[in-house]
Homo-oligomer: A and B are copies of this chain.
Protein backbone atom coordinates (compact mmCIF):
# COMPACT_ATOMS: atom_id res chain seq x y z
CA UNK A 1 0.00 0.00 0.00
CA UNK A 2 1.62 3.22 -1.12
CA UNK A 3 1.59 6.00 1.42
CA UNK A 4 -0.98 8.75 1.01
CA UNK A 5 0.35 12.29 0.76
CA UNK A 6 -0.87 14.79 3.33
CA UNK A 7 -1.78 17.09 0.47
CA UNK A 8 -4.22 14.52 -0.85
CA UNK A 9 -5.66 13.94 2.59
CA UNK A 10 -6.21 17.68 2.87
CA UNK A 11 -7.87 17.76 -0.57
CA UNK A 12 -10.15 14.97 0.43
CA UNK A 13 -11.15 16.65 3.65
CA UNK A 14 -11.68 20.01 1.98
CA UNK A 15 -14.01 18.38 -0.45
CA UNK A 16 -15.78 16.46 2.23
CA UNK A 17 -16.36 19.52 4.35
CA UNK A 18 -17.55 21.64 1.52
CA UNK A 19 -19.89 19.05 0.19
CA UNK A 20 -21.52 18.02 3.43
CA UNK A 21 -21.88 21.61 4.53
CA UNK A 22 -23.32 22.90 1.30
CA UNK A 23 -25.34 20.05 -0.13
CA UNK A 24 -25.82 17.70 2.78
CA UNK A 25 -27.38 20.33 4.99
CA UNK A 26 -29.69 21.53 2.24
CA UNK A 27 -30.81 18.03 1.55
CA UNK A 28 -31.59 17.15 5.13
CA UNK A 29 -33.48 20.35 5.43
CA UNK A 30 -35.83 19.73 2.53
CA UNK A 31 -36.19 16.05 3.39
CA UNK A 32 -37.17 16.82 6.93
CA UNK A 33 -39.61 19.60 6.29
CA UNK A 34 -42.80 17.56 6.52
CA UNK A 35 -41.78 14.94 9.00
CA UNK A 36 -38.80 14.04 11.16
CA UNK A 37 -35.69 13.19 9.20
CA UNK A 38 -35.61 9.65 10.52
CA UNK A 39 -39.14 9.02 9.35
CA UNK A 40 -38.45 10.56 5.94
CA UNK A 41 -35.40 8.38 5.49
CA UNK A 42 -37.33 5.31 6.54
CA UNK A 43 -40.11 6.06 4.09
CA UNK A 44 -37.56 6.51 1.38
CA UNK A 45 -35.87 3.23 2.19
CA UNK A 46 -39.19 1.40 2.14
CA UNK A 47 -39.97 2.86 -1.28
CA UNK A 48 -36.55 1.89 -2.54
CA UNK A 49 -36.92 -1.78 -1.67
CA UNK A 50 -40.65 -2.20 -2.05
CA UNK A 51 -40.83 -5.63 -3.69
CA UNK A 52 -43.90 -7.71 -4.45
CA UNK A 53 -44.12 -8.80 -0.82
CA UNK A 54 -43.05 -5.47 0.64
CA UNK A 55 -39.89 -5.11 2.73
CA UNK A 56 -38.97 -7.00 5.86
CA UNK A 57 -38.64 -4.89 8.99
CA UNK A 58 -35.54 -6.88 9.77
CA UNK A 59 -34.00 -5.80 6.50
CA UNK A 60 -34.79 -2.15 7.12
CA UNK A 61 -33.25 -2.43 10.53
CA UNK A 62 -29.95 -3.71 9.26
CA UNK A 63 -29.93 -1.36 6.31
CA UNK A 64 -30.52 1.78 8.32
CA UNK A 65 -28.79 0.54 11.43
CA UNK A 66 -31.74 1.27 13.69
CA UNK A 67 -32.75 -0.07 17.06
CA UNK A 68 -35.62 -2.55 16.86
CA UNK A 69 -37.85 -0.60 19.20
CA UNK A 70 -37.18 2.68 17.51
CA UNK A 71 -37.96 1.22 14.10
CA UNK A 72 -41.12 -0.40 15.36
CA UNK A 73 -42.40 2.91 16.64
CA UNK A 74 -41.50 4.81 13.50
CA UNK A 75 -43.24 2.34 11.22
CA UNK A 76 -46.27 2.54 13.50
CA UNK A 77 -46.27 6.30 13.08
CA UNK A 78 -46.05 5.99 9.32
CA UNK A 79 -48.89 3.49 9.41
CA UNK A 80 -51.06 5.86 11.44
CA UNK A 81 -50.34 8.53 8.84
CA UNK A 82 -51.56 6.14 6.14
CA UNK A 83 -48.21 6.01 4.36
CA UNK A 84 -47.53 2.30 4.80
CA UNK A 85 -49.27 -0.91 5.74
CA UNK A 86 -47.71 -3.44 8.06
CA UNK A 87 -48.50 -7.07 7.65
CA UNK A 88 -47.33 -10.40 8.97
CA UNK A 89 -45.00 -12.35 6.73
CA UNK A 90 -46.97 -15.19 5.06
CA UNK A 91 -44.41 -17.91 5.80
CA UNK A 92 -42.99 -16.83 9.12
CA UNK A 93 -45.34 -14.95 11.39
CA UNK A 94 -42.55 -13.65 13.56
CA UNK A 95 -41.57 -11.37 10.68
CA UNK A 96 -43.35 -8.23 9.59
CA UNK A 97 -43.39 -6.84 6.12
CA UNK A 98 -44.16 -3.26 5.33
CA UNK A 99 -45.29 -1.77 2.04
CA UNK A 100 -46.25 1.60 0.71
CA UNK A 101 -49.89 2.53 0.36
CA UNK A 102 -50.92 4.63 -2.64
CA UNK A 103 -50.80 7.68 -0.38
CA UNK A 104 -47.28 6.71 0.62
CA UNK A 105 -46.27 6.42 -2.99
CA UNK A 106 -47.60 9.92 -3.65
CA UNK A 107 -45.59 11.20 -0.70
CA UNK A 108 -42.39 9.59 -1.92
CA UNK A 109 -42.93 10.97 -5.39
CA UNK A 110 -43.30 14.40 -3.88
CA UNK A 111 -40.10 13.91 -1.86
CA UNK A 112 -38.33 12.90 -5.03
CA UNK A 113 -39.65 15.91 -6.87
CA UNK A 114 -38.23 18.14 -4.20
CA UNK A 115 -34.87 16.42 -4.26
CA UNK A 116 -34.84 16.74 -8.04
CA UNK A 117 -35.54 20.42 -7.92
CA UNK A 118 -32.84 20.90 -5.33
CA UNK A 119 -30.37 19.21 -7.66
CA UNK A 120 -31.67 21.11 -10.67
CA UNK A 121 -31.37 24.35 -8.72
CA UNK A 122 -27.69 23.74 -8.07
CA UNK A 123 -27.01 22.70 -11.66
CA UNK A 124 -28.91 25.66 -13.06
CA UNK A 125 -26.20 27.94 -11.69
CA UNK A 126 -23.83 26.67 -14.36
CA UNK A 127 -23.67 26.93 -18.13
CA UNK A 128 -24.04 23.81 -20.25
CA UNK A 129 -20.37 23.07 -20.59
CA UNK A 130 -19.54 23.40 -16.92
CA UNK A 131 -22.64 21.47 -15.97
CA UNK A 132 -21.50 18.56 -18.10
CA UNK A 133 -18.05 18.77 -16.56
CA UNK A 134 -19.53 18.76 -13.08
CA UNK A 135 -21.56 15.65 -13.79
CA UNK A 136 -18.58 13.91 -15.27
CA UNK A 137 -16.35 14.79 -12.34
CA UNK A 138 -19.03 13.58 -9.93
CA UNK A 139 -19.25 10.31 -11.79
CA UNK A 140 -15.47 9.96 -11.55
CA UNK A 141 -15.46 10.65 -7.84
CA UNK A 142 -18.22 8.17 -7.24
CA UNK A 143 -16.55 5.50 -9.35
CA UNK A 144 -13.26 5.85 -7.58
CA UNK A 145 -14.77 6.01 -4.12
CA UNK A 146 -16.66 2.83 -4.85
CA UNK A 147 -13.56 1.14 -6.10
CA UNK A 148 -11.64 2.23 -3.02
CA UNK A 149 -14.25 0.62 -0.82
CA UNK A 150 -14.22 -2.75 -2.57
CA UNK A 151 -12.01 -5.43 -1.09
CA UNK A 152 -10.88 -8.58 -2.85
CA UNK A 153 -10.73 -11.47 -0.44
CA UNK A 154 -9.40 -14.98 -0.54
CA UNK A 155 -12.25 -17.38 0.29
CA UNK A 156 -12.67 -21.10 0.35
CA UNK A 157 -13.93 -22.65 -2.86
CA UNK A 158 -16.91 -24.07 -0.98
CA UNK A 159 -17.98 -20.72 0.48
CA UNK A 160 -21.60 -19.80 -0.34
CA UNK A 161 -20.45 -16.40 -1.65
CA UNK A 162 -18.08 -18.13 -4.06
CA UNK A 163 -20.76 -20.41 -5.40
CA UNK A 164 -23.24 -17.53 -5.63
CA UNK A 165 -20.82 -15.56 -7.79
CA UNK A 166 -20.25 -18.57 -10.05
CA UNK A 167 -23.99 -19.02 -10.39
CA UNK A 168 -24.45 -15.42 -11.47
CA UNK A 169 -21.48 -15.82 -13.81
CA UNK A 170 -22.98 -18.94 -15.38
CA UNK A 171 -26.37 -17.26 -15.81
CA UNK A 172 -24.74 -14.42 -17.63
CA UNK A 173 -22.66 -16.60 -19.93
CA UNK A 174 -25.73 -18.65 -20.75
CA UNK A 175 -27.27 -15.49 -22.15
CA UNK A 176 -24.17 -14.12 -23.84
CA UNK A 177 -22.85 -17.25 -25.54
CA UNK A 178 -24.82 -18.04 -28.70
CA UNK A 179 -24.53 -21.72 -27.83
CA UNK A 180 -25.56 -21.23 -24.20
CA UNK A 181 -23.47 -22.30 -21.22
CA UNK A 182 -23.35 -25.58 -19.38
CA UNK A 183 -22.70 -25.18 -15.66
CA UNK A 184 -20.72 -28.40 -15.42
CA UNK A 185 -17.93 -26.41 -17.05
CA UNK A 186 -17.51 -24.41 -13.82
CA UNK A 187 -14.61 -25.27 -11.54
CA UNK A 188 -15.58 -27.51 -8.65
CA UNK A 189 -15.13 -26.25 -5.07
CA UNK A 190 -12.16 -28.57 -4.51
CA UNK A 191 -10.33 -27.43 -7.62
CA UNK A 192 -9.95 -23.94 -6.13
CA UNK A 193 -9.26 -24.83 -2.50
CA UNK A 194 -6.09 -25.64 -0.62
CA UNK A 195 -3.15 -26.84 -2.72
CA UNK A 196 -5.18 -27.18 -5.89
CA UNK A 197 -6.06 -23.53 -6.29
CA UNK A 198 -7.66 -20.43 -4.85
CA UNK A 199 -10.82 -18.43 -5.12
CA UNK A 200 -11.26 -14.70 -4.62
CA UNK A 201 -14.45 -12.77 -4.03
CA UNK A 202 -14.75 -8.98 -4.30
CA UNK A 203 -16.97 -7.40 -1.66
CA UNK A 204 -18.68 -4.04 -1.76
CA UNK A 205 -20.28 -3.16 1.56
CA UNK A 206 -20.60 -6.82 2.42
CA UNK A 207 -22.13 -7.83 -0.90
CA UNK A 208 -20.16 -10.08 -3.29
CA UNK A 209 -19.71 -8.17 -6.54
CA UNK A 210 -17.09 -10.14 -8.39
CA UNK A 211 -14.87 -13.20 -8.36
CA UNK A 212 -11.95 -15.00 -9.92
CA UNK A 213 -10.52 -18.51 -9.70
CA UNK A 214 -6.98 -19.84 -9.89
CA UNK A 215 -6.10 -23.49 -10.27
CA UNK A 216 -2.98 -25.52 -10.88
CA UNK A 217 -2.67 -26.28 -14.55
CA UNK A 218 0.80 -27.83 -14.76
CA UNK A 219 4.01 -27.70 -12.73
CA UNK A 220 4.74 -24.05 -11.99
CA UNK A 221 1.77 -22.96 -14.08
CA UNK A 222 -1.62 -21.73 -12.96
CA UNK A 223 -4.80 -21.24 -14.84
CA UNK A 224 -7.07 -18.28 -14.26
CA UNK A 225 -10.77 -18.89 -14.70
CA UNK A 226 -14.14 -17.30 -14.11
CA UNK A 227 -13.07 -13.72 -13.69
CA UNK A 228 -16.41 -12.01 -13.32
CA UNK A 229 -17.76 -8.67 -12.13
CA UNK A 230 -21.35 -7.98 -11.18
CA UNK A 231 -23.09 -5.72 -13.73
CA UNK A 232 -23.59 -3.04 -11.03
CA UNK A 233 -19.86 -2.92 -10.39
CA UNK A 234 -18.54 -2.74 -13.93
CA UNK A 235 -16.44 0.04 -15.39
CA UNK A 236 -14.76 0.61 -12.03
CA UNK A 237 -11.57 -1.27 -12.88
CA UNK A 238 -12.52 -4.08 -10.55
CA UNK A 239 -11.63 -6.93 -12.94
CA UNK A 240 -8.03 -5.74 -12.86
CA UNK A 241 -8.04 -5.78 -9.10
CA UNK A 242 -9.28 -9.36 -9.13
CA UNK A 243 -6.68 -10.30 -11.71
CA UNK A 244 -3.98 -8.69 -9.58
CA UNK A 245 -5.07 -10.70 -6.57
CA UNK A 246 -4.98 -13.91 -8.60
CA UNK A 247 -1.50 -13.15 -9.93
CA UNK A 248 -0.17 -12.32 -6.48
CA UNK A 249 -1.58 -15.61 -5.22
CA UNK A 250 -0.01 -17.52 -8.14
CA UNK A 251 3.38 -15.98 -7.41
CA UNK A 252 3.02 -16.85 -3.75
CA UNK A 253 2.75 -20.47 -4.84
CA UNK A 254 5.74 -20.11 -7.20
CA UNK A 255 3.57 -20.54 -10.24
CA UNK A 256 5.49 -18.19 -12.49
CA UNK A 257 3.24 -18.57 -15.51
CA UNK A 258 -0.49 -18.07 -15.65
CA UNK A 259 -2.71 -18.93 -18.55
CA UNK A 260 -6.32 -18.43 -19.40
CA UNK A 261 -8.72 -18.82 -22.25
CA UNK A 262 -11.65 -16.73 -23.30
CA UNK A 263 -14.68 -16.91 -25.53
CA UNK A 264 -15.03 -14.83 -28.70
CA UNK A 265 -18.19 -13.23 -27.30
CA UNK A 266 -16.26 -11.61 -24.45
CA UNK A 267 -14.44 -8.97 -26.43
CA UNK A 268 -13.99 -6.56 -23.53
CA UNK A 269 -12.26 -9.29 -21.54
CA UNK A 270 -9.73 -9.88 -24.28
CA UNK A 271 -8.87 -6.21 -24.41
CA UNK A 272 -8.35 -6.18 -20.67
CA UNK A 273 -6.07 -9.21 -20.68
CA UNK A 274 -3.93 -7.65 -23.38
CA UNK A 275 -3.77 -4.39 -21.45
CA UNK A 276 -2.68 -6.31 -18.35
CA UNK A 277 0.30 -7.83 -20.06
CA UNK A 278 -1.16 -11.10 -21.33
CA UNK A 279 -0.07 -12.28 -24.78
CA UNK A 280 -2.02 -14.58 -27.04
CA UNK A 281 -0.70 -18.11 -27.34
CA UNK A 282 -1.80 -21.31 -29.13
CA UNK A 283 -4.39 -23.47 -27.42
CA UNK A 284 -2.89 -25.09 -24.32
CA UNK A 285 -5.88 -27.35 -23.72
CA UNK A 286 -9.13 -28.43 -25.28
CA UNK A 287 -12.04 -26.41 -24.03
CA UNK A 288 -15.56 -26.06 -25.41
CA UNK A 289 -16.00 -22.37 -24.76
CA UNK A 290 -12.49 -21.20 -25.64
CA UNK A 291 -11.56 -19.25 -28.76
CA UNK A 292 -8.48 -17.39 -27.57
CA UNK A 293 -5.70 -18.38 -25.21
CA UNK A 294 -3.46 -16.05 -23.25
CA UNK A 295 -0.40 -16.33 -21.07
CA UNK A 296 1.59 -14.09 -18.79
CA UNK A 297 4.95 -14.63 -17.19
CA UNK A 298 4.89 -13.36 -13.60
CA UNK A 299 7.56 -11.95 -11.32
CA UNK A 300 10.11 -9.32 -12.04
Contact = CB atoms under 8 A, between A and B. Distances in A.
Contacts of A18: 142, 145-146
A20 interface: yes
Interface stretch (A53-61, A99-107, A125-133, A178-186): A125-133
A78 B190 CA distance: 60
Interface of A: 1-2, 4, 6, 8-9, 11-16, 18-20, 22-24, 27, 115-116, 119-120, 122-128, 130-135, 137-142, 144-151, 237
A12 B123 contact: yes
Contact of A2 (B20, B115, B128, B147): B128
B140 A145 contact: no
A144 B148 contact: no
B148 A125 contact: yes
A120 to B, nearest CB: 5
A124 B1 contact: yes
A27 B16 contact: yes
A123 B14 contact: no
A88 B42 CA distance: 46
Contacts of A142: 14-15, 18-19
A126 B147 contact: yes
A171 to B, nearest CB: 26
Contacts of A2: 124, 127-128
> Of A16, A116, A146, which is in contact with the most chain B CB atoms at under 10 Å from its CB?
A16
Given A9-B120, A11-B139, A12-B119, A149 B22 contact: yes
B141 A137 contact: yes
A13 B144 contact: no
A290 to B, nearest CB: 31
A4 B128 CA distance: 8
